[in-house]
Structure 1
Amino acid sequence: MSARLLLFTGKGGVGKTTLAAATAAALAAGGRKALVVSTDPAHSLGDAFGVPLGGAVSEVDAGLHAAQIDPRALVDDAWRELRGHLRTVLAGAGVDELDAEELTVLPGVEELLALAEVRRLAGTGPWDVVVVDCGPTAETLRLLALPEALGSYLERLFPTHRRVVRGLLAGLAGSTSVERWDATADALGRLAESLEQLRALLTSEATSVRLVLTPERVVAAETRRTVTALALQGIRVDGVVANRLVPHPGAARGAAATWMRTRRAEQDAVLASLADLGSVRCVEHRAGEPVGLPALLEIAAGLYGETDPLAGTAAEGPLVDVVRVGDEYELRLAVAVGDSDLDLVRVGDDLAVTVDGRRKLVALPSLLRRCEVVGAELDETGLAVRFRPDPDLWMR
């Protein structure tokens, strides 16, 4: 897939669907072929455009197409075959048939299939850009973590080498029906390949996430945690959009003007607290509900002005970097931890970083595998973990 992939997410009710639709409309108006798809169960993308949308791609305007993915329909179609193969594996391992049926109803399968459908749609059209209206933040974080998590579990259960898988399955079943187990191995291999392709897509330079918030302290705190969680997954955040800013009342007087001035000052203070995340794009609150292409293009004009809607505004820098400090080494993780709960554990050749309950294994460079952890510090640039050469391993 050569198209640019831009994912919009944010706390429920902040207006991410409207801004995703407005961005896609602006891209199409600027001459790019744009596809906007929604994985949000709320099904509000069609409402934003003022047209009915379904699972099939439909044309909204010249150069602009849209679709509303229905994960439940995907489960009925795409998951049925693989569930049958998994039941075969579990039954061969001695799991009761009823239990096997329950175990194949995997949590998150709907979200995973929705993401796979985004990838399929993106690769089947002439799109320059694919804009994705994701669900609320918590659901999106689970969605984006699924390919890596399930891929890791699958690799542990069924190793990559096809002959190993085939021999394992045949041994579990005690069966001489090679064809049956061969089909199961092929199905699991296709699943593993699909998961790896999804993970590669999400962490590629062509993919980024744009976070939408309303300028409130609670929402801003969630946004900062989301930046950290995505960074730990290796997924790039290219910018933050603040929606529904109270307009400046100017020199107007009266109770309403005083309220607006006070509220806007509070909102500006919240935005200032996010300065380390880069430049925040802003959209002022409008009296009318933005429905239909003209209203969405007006939103986009206020949001992007003369700049390219695809231009990122986030602070740039490598997620992981290693520097030498005297006789020690520092592994720097550019994640905004803030007041989050942080835990570090050395697990073999990996460093397990847990922030607010979300865990990520960071593969240590070969240099640091021969070192021991001696401390960690937080500063404005992120987390720095200090390593000291282990005398027992250093000369190996």
Structure 2
Amino acid sequence: MRTILITGPGGSGRTTVAAATALAAARQGTRTLLLGTDRDDTLGAALGVRTGPAPTPVEPGLTAWRPDAAQGFRDGLAALQDRASSALDLLGAARLDPEELTPLPGADELALLRALRDAALAEEHDLLVVDLPPAPRALALLAAPEELRRCLRRLLPPERQAARALRPVLGRLAGVPMPAEALYEAAARWDLELAAAEAVVADRNTVVRLVAEPGPAGDDAVRATVLGLALRGLRTDLLVANRVLPEDVPADSWLTGPLAQQRKTLEEWRDTHDVRALPHLGHDPRGADDLAALGAPGVHAGAAPVEWPVTDRLAEDGVLVWRIPLPGAVREDLDLVRRGDELVVAAGPFRRIVPLPSALRRCTVAGAALREGTLAVRFAPDPALWPQAR
């Protein structure tokens, strides 16, 4: 299944473009599922059809689904209370009534990750179009599965779980309480769920489609978002310039200023992105007719996979070079820290901890340079770890 993740700055028309994209793909003959994330039914307003927790047929080949984060939170807590019933009874704790609960911060994001996993596992559609939150929240959401799995592995390393059978004995010998069996089981369950969501995000058939209004603010947001996506190794297939003004504006109109900014931004975007311009209809698009009038692209064949190659320059310079594409990065805002077999990369407000390729784990960092949007990190073989030539 192919996946198109749609995001952009707040107020750029992401939901409308997501709905128009899904509609275009369905009318091209692709079985499409449109996944919404807003608690308010903005997706249904764009489609002209109410959407909710149950998948809703919109027209042949197109289904819309807006998971209920509140219900998912209540169901999850109820299941947790059931699993911990013996401990709760022992403590004399009163159980919480699911109906009295309101979702905690982050419940929407967790509901979306579960929905991504469920949609991929169902295999009922050929294309999944996801209306993500605004770009800053979307970047944090897309990073969550990898980061949470990393935390779980650090707290409960899989290789140490073999000691679970010896837990009672170890507890008596050490004189300290050992982690309960339920903790390991919960960690394994969470890891599987996060791995499924991470697999959808990292899949080679998954792309991110950016939406922004052409102008100074939109340009700043696109630059920041592209950098955040690049650090995560995610690829964009298109930059959708939304609400593009018509060119035939009278010379004495107040729109001449915004139109000039629009032209300049579109020219710059076309130098670095595959741009699709959608017209300003003069009103908020509502219903299938308006969405079709936008002419949004459906499935697009562009966007090469993002690669972080290691270049062998041992014969020439005695180093291996790891090239990390970071378009838009500024040298002053970059930071690198080697920690064990991991490299901590910070670019502006974004940060990622990545495992080193196997060959680089036997090397020491010998320097780094940023040129033309690519960070080149040089690694010199560590004589104590590198195999010696005879």
TM norm structure 2: 0.84
Counterpart position of 2:30: 32
Counterpart position of 1:207: 206
1:362 partnered with 2:354: yes
Counterpart position of 1:231: 230
Match of 2:265 among 267, 270, 274: 270
Match of 1:310 among 293, 299, 307: 299
Conservation of the 8 A alpha-carbon contact between 1:12 and 1:137: yes
Conservation of the 8 A alpha-carbon contact between 1:248 and 1:261: no
**1:275-331 CA deviation, whole Å, 9 max, x = no partner?**
4642111112121321001111111x2x33xxxx211544x3643012234313321
Conservation of the 8 A alpha-carbon contact between 1:231 and 1:319: no
Conservation of the 8 A alpha-carbon contact between 2:245 and 2:279: yes
Decide which moves more: 63-72 or 228-237. 228-237
**1:341-363 CA deviation, whole Å, 9 max, x = no partner?**
21111111222101123221232
Instruction: For 1:15 and 1:157, locate their aligned partners in 2 and report how far apart those are by CA, in whole Å.
Output: 41
Structure-2 change in CA distance of 1:82 and 1:217 (3 Å): farther
Structure-2 change in CA distance of 1:202 and 1:254 (3 Å): closer
> Secondary structure of 2:78's partner?
helix
Instruction: For 2:250 and 2:109, locate their aligned partners in 1 and report how far apart those are by CA, in whole Å.
Output: 50
Runs of 4+ in 1 over 6 A off after TM superposition: 86-90, 169-174
Q: Mind listing any 5+ residue stretches in structure 2 that lack a counterpart?
A: 95-102, 174-178
**1:82-129 CA deviation, whole Å, 9 max, x = no partner?**
477689999x9xxxx99xxxxxx9853441232112321343362111
How many percent of aligned residue pairs carry the same amino acid? Answer: 36
Structure-2 change in CA distance of 1:331 and 1:125 (3 Å): closer
Structure-2 change in CA distance of 1:132 and 1:84 (3 Å): same
1:261 CA displacement: 4.1
Instruction: For 2:54 and 2:18, locate their aligned partners in 1 and report how far apart those are by CA, in whole Å.
Output: 19
Structure-2 change in CA distance of 1:166 and 1:295 (3 Å): farther
1:45 CA displacement: 0.2
Instruction: For 1:30 and 1:159, locate their aligned partners in 2 and report how far apart those are by CA, in whole Å.
Output: 47
> Secondary structure of 2:122's partner?
coil
Q: How does 1:72-221 map to 2 (within 5 A)?
A: 72-82=70-80, 108-124=106-122, 126-160=124-158, 162-165=161-164, 181-221=180-220
Quick one: which amino acid aligns to residue 322 of structure 2? Answer: L
1:25 CA displacement: 0.7
1:34 CA displacement: 1.0
Structure-2 change in CA distance of 1:89 and 1:169 (3 Å): farther
1:320 partnered with 2:308: yes
Instruction: For 2:105 and 2:84, locate their aligned partners in 1 and report how far apart those are by CA, in whole Å.
Output: 15
Structure-2 change in CA distance of 1:253 and 1:130 (3 Å): closer
Quick one: which amino acid aligns to residue 12 of structure 1? Answer: G
Quick one: which amino acid aligns to residue 136 of structure 1? Answer: P
Conservation of the 8 A alpha-carbon contact between 1:112 and 1:146: no
Match of 1:288 among 283, 288, 305: 283
Counterpart position of 1:333: 324
**1:19-70 CA deviation, whole Å, 9 max, x = no partner?**
1001111111111111101013343100101121111001111111111122
Counterpart position of 1:379: 371
Quick one: which amino acid aligns to residue 381 of structure 2? Answer: P
Quick one: which amino acid aligns to residue 320 of structure 1? Answer: W
Conservation of the 8 A alpha-carbon contact between 2:213 and 2:243: yes
Instruction: For 1:254 and 1:276, locate their aligned partners in 2 and report how far apart those are by CA, in whole Å.
Output: 27
Quick one: which amino acid aligns to residue 390 of structure 1? Answer: D
Match of 2:65 among 61, 64, 67: 67
TM norm structure 1: 0.82
Instruction: For 1:88 and 1:9, locate their aligned partners in 2 and report how far apart those are by CA, in whole Å.
Output: 44
Conservation of the 8 A alpha-carbon contact between 2:320 and 2:380: yes
Instruction: For 1:365 and 1:245, locate their aligned partners in 2 and report how far apart those are by CA, in whole Å.
Output: 44
Structure-2 change in CA distance of 1:337 and 1:370 (3 Å): farther
Structure-2 change in CA distance of 1:165 and 1:228 (3 Å): farther
Structure-2 change in CA distance of 1:318 and 1:7 (3 Å): closer
Structure-2 change in CA distance of 1:294 and 1:74 (3 Å): same
> Secondary structure of 1:273's partner?
helix
Match of 1:343 among 329, 335, 338: 335
Instruction: For 1:347 and 1:68, locate their aligned partners in 2 and report how far apart those are by CA, in whole Å.
Output: 41
Quick one: which amino acid aligns to residue 341 of structure 2? Answer: D
1:188 CA displacement: 2.8
